[in-house]
Amino acid sequence: MDGTLFDSMPKHAQAWDEVMARHGLSFTPQQCYREEGRTGIDVIQECFRKEIEKGNPTEIDNLSPEEALRHIHDIYKEKSNRFIELGPVRPIPGVHEILKYIRSLPDTQIWIVTGSAQQTLFARLNSDFPGIFTPDRMVTANDVTHGKPDPEPYLTAWQRSQLPKSQCCVIENAPLGVRSAKAAGLFTCAVNTGSLPQQDFQRENADIIVSNMQQLLQIISNKSISL
């Protein structure tokens, strides 16, 4: 969803950077792009773990595990609120054309598999992409135990689709999302809509790497790959 349907990553990066700094945690905008795909809770837990490993004092040092988890959820709510404050986001250029083409293909399912739980973006799906997405074809941070880069999110979508893997194609904008999809045994197209070098996607063994949705549409419509 983020960075694939919506051009939301710059504002996510800013929100993460500001909120993490308030809590004594380091999480730069560049890290945001590299870690995209993880659930927000996983991101915060990992940042605390790194600070603790360095021997740095943290806000959860003297908390019970239950209190620490509640605090982490509060930080994620703070980040979500800051993201909202930064204003609305627009769809990724070219994504409407991609969705329209895929919808024109017979017997095609379109799924969202996201590490996000950002309700403001879910609320915009019907207004920005009317008739494309339905709740029964969404796998979000609320539906899985292990988020990306674990294969569980994509395996969940694949199992629910009841399609053979040979008929599935993942469109991802994040290296960890590519890792998740490939670990699930799915053909994966990486669309680098952010600021990361292409090598980040090559290291994750993406089957196809393009720089924007227009390039991907050209590949798909020329039937260079089969969906």
- pLDDT tens readout for residues 14-35: 999 999 999 999 898 888 988 8
pLDDT (mean) for 127-152: 91
Whether 163 maps to a domain, the answer reads yes
Q: Which residues of 143-177 are buried (b: 16+ CB within 10 A; e: fewer)?
A: bbeebbbbbbbbbbbbeeeeeeeeebbbbbbbbbb
Same domain, 51 and 103: no
Q: Which of 26-30, 113-117, 160-164 has the highest mean pLDDT?
A: 160-164
Q: Residue 227 pLDDT more than 50?
A: no
Residue-range definition of the domain harbouring residue 146: 95-221
Mean pLDDT of 131-157: 92
| Domain boundary residue, one of 54, 85, 116 | 85
Whole-structure pTM value: 0.85
Residue 85 vs residues 7, 11, 79, 117, 191: alpha-carbon distances, Å: 16, 10, 10, 16, 27
Same structural domain, 136 and 154: yes
Domain end position, chosen among 57, 85, 113: 85
Q: What is the mean pLDDT of residues 65-81?
A: 96
pLDDT band at 225 (very low <50, low <70, confident <90, very high): low
**By C-alpha distance, which of 34, 15, 38 is closest to 141?**
38
Are 67 and 162 found together in one domain? no
CA 155, 180, 132, 14: dihedral to nearest 10 degrees?
140
From 85, 113, 129, give the residue that closes a domain. 85
